[in-house]
C-alpha cells in the first residue's frame, strides 16, 4: 500500500549518495510525484532519472530560478561536504547555510507545507565523552566550517518557520553507510579488502552509525501527512541502535566480505600522539573517539524502527560495490 503524502515531494541532491536513494525509494513508496532536485539537469542521465521527473535546484545562487509549483514537502539532502581548503569553506557557508535558507524562502513563498533538513551530528561536536550519549537536548558545539554551516542553517530555518508557518524538521545524521557510499566508510572497506594491518585492536571506542535504508524509512515517516504531525518543529538524531568500536566495525566489514580484518594491538595514546605530529587529528578522532547518539525520540514520536540491521546493510553495500566493478 502506498503512503499518502498530499502534494508533490522534492528531494534535493538527488544525484548524491543519500539524495538519490531517497528519490528512488520514496517515488515507489509514496502516492504522489517525487521530483529529483539537481544542480545540473543532465546529471540525471547517468542515474536513470527520467527527464520529466527532474527539477533544477542551484544552491547559493540567488539568481537561479527554482520551480516549486505543486510541491508540498521538500527533503533537503544537497550539501557541500567536508573540505579543508579556504575556498571550499566559503562555499560551505554559501551552499549549506545561505543556499538552504534561500531555498526555504522560495518554499515558504510557494506554499510548501514542510521542509525536512538533513543536518549533521557534527553540529553537536566531534565526539561524546566516554560513557555518555547525545540526545537532541544537548547543547550544540560546532567545531569546523561544515558543522557551523549546518548549525547556522538550522537556526535560520527555525526563524523562518516562526515567521511563515512552514513546518521544519531537522535530522542530525551520524555516519551514513549503504550502497554507493564513499568517504570514510569506503576507505575502511578498501583497507579490509586489501588486508592492510591496522593498529586498532586496542581501541575501545563506541560509534553510532546509520544504515541508508534506515534513514530512508525515517524520512518516509516525516513526509507522511497523517503520521508525522508530532515531528514538526523537532530535531531528531538517528542511529541503527547497534553501536560498535572501530575494531568491531572492521570485523563486520570483513565478515561481509568473506575476509579477515588484520588488527594489531597498539597503545591508543601513541596513536593519538602520532596523529598530532602528522597533523591528522581529525582522522584520529573519527577512528579512535566515541560518538554515540540516542534515537529514542524518533522511536517514541513517530514509531520509527530500523528496517535493516548493520550486517544486512553492509552486505547490501558490498554486493552493490562488487556489481559496479
pLDDT tens-place string over residues 20-57: 999 999 999 887 899 999 999 999 999 999 999 999 99
Residue 1's pLDDT is 43
Check the CA dihedral 29-33-37-40 and report its sign: positive
Residue 65 included in any domain:
yes
CA distances from 23 to 12, 29, 76, 128, 172 (A): 9, 10, 11, 32, 19
CA–CA dist 175, 223 (Å, integer): 22
Residue 322 clears pLDDT 90, i.e. is over it:
no
Band of pLDDT at residue 87, cut at 50, 70 and 90: low
Residue 258 included in any domain:
no
Residue 284 included in any domain:
no
Indicate the pairing of strand 54-56 with strand 71-76. Answer: unpaired
Residue 190 included in any domain:
no
Residue 226 included in any domain:
yes
Residues classed as catalytic: 146
pLDDT in tens, 54-80: 999 998 777 778 899 999 999 999 998
Expressed as residue numbers, the domain containing 85 is 8-178+211-239+293-304
Residue 244's pLDDT is 96
Residue 287 included in any domain:
no
Residues with Cβ within 8 Å of 282's Cβ and at least 6 positions away in sequence, in order, are 126
CA–CA dist 189, 280 (Å, integer): 20
Residue 204 included in any domain:
no
Domain total in the chain: 1
- The CATH number given to whatever domain includes residue 166 is 3.40.50.720
Residue 235: which of 297, 292, 143 has the closest Cα? 297
**CA 219 to centroid of chain Cα atoms:** 11
Residue 253 included in any domain:
no
Amino acid at each position: 500500500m502506498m503512503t499518502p503524502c498530499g502534494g508533490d515531494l522534492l528531494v534535493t541532491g538527488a544525484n548524491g549518495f543519500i539524495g538519490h536513494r531517497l528519490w528512488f525509494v520514496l517515488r515507489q513508496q509514496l502516492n504522489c510525484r517525487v521530483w529529483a532536485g539537481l544542480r545540473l539537469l543532465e546529471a540525471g542521465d547517468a542515474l536513470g532519472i527520467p527527464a520529466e521527473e527532474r527539477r533544477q535546484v542551484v544552491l547559493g545562487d540567488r539568481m537561479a530560478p527554482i520551480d516549486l509549483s505543486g510541491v508540498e514537502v521538500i527533503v533537503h539532502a544537497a550539501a557541500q561536504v567536508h573540505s579543508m581548503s579556504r575556498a571550499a569553506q566559503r562555499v560551505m557557508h554559501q551552499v549549506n547555510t545561505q543556499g538552504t535558507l534561500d531555498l526555504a524562502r522560495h518554499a515558504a513563498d510557494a506554499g510548501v507545507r514542510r521542509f525536512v533538513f538533513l543536518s549533521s551530528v557534527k553540529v553537536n561536536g566531534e565526539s561524546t565523552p566516554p560513557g555518555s550519549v547525545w540526545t537532541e537536548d544537548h547543547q550544540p558545539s560546532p567545531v569546523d566550517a561544515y558543522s557551523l554551516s549546518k548549525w547556522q542553517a538550522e537556526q535560520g530555518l527555525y526563524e523562518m518557520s516562526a515567521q511563515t508557518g512552514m513546518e521544519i524538521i531537522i535530522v542530525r545524521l551520524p555516519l551514513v553507510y549503504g550502497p554507493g557510499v564513499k568517504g570514510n566508510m569506503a576507505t575502511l572497506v578498501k583497507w579490509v579488502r586489501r588486508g592492510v594491518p591496522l593498529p586498532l585492536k586496542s581501541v575501545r571506542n563506541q560509534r553510532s552509525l546509520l544504515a541508508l535504508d534506515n534513514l530512508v524509512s525515517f524520512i518516509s515517516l516525516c513526509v507522511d501527512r497523517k503520521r508525522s504531525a508530532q515531528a514538526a518543529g523537532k530535531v531528531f538524531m538517528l542511529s541503527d541502535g547497534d553501536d560498535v568500536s572501530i575494531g568491531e566495525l572492521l570485523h563486520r566489514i570483513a565478515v561481509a566480505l568473506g575476509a579477515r580484518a588484520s588488527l594489531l594491538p597498539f597503545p591508543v595514546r601513541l596513536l593519538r600522539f602520532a596523529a598530532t605530529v602528522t597533523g591528522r587529528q581529525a582522522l584520529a578522532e573519527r577512528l579512535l573517539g566515541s560518538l554515540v547518539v540516542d534515537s529514542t525520540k524518533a522511536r517514541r514520536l513517530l514509531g520509527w524502527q530500523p528496517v535493516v540491521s548493520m550486517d544486512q546493510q553492509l552486505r547490501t553495500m558490498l554486493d552493490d560495490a562488487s556489481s559496479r566493478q
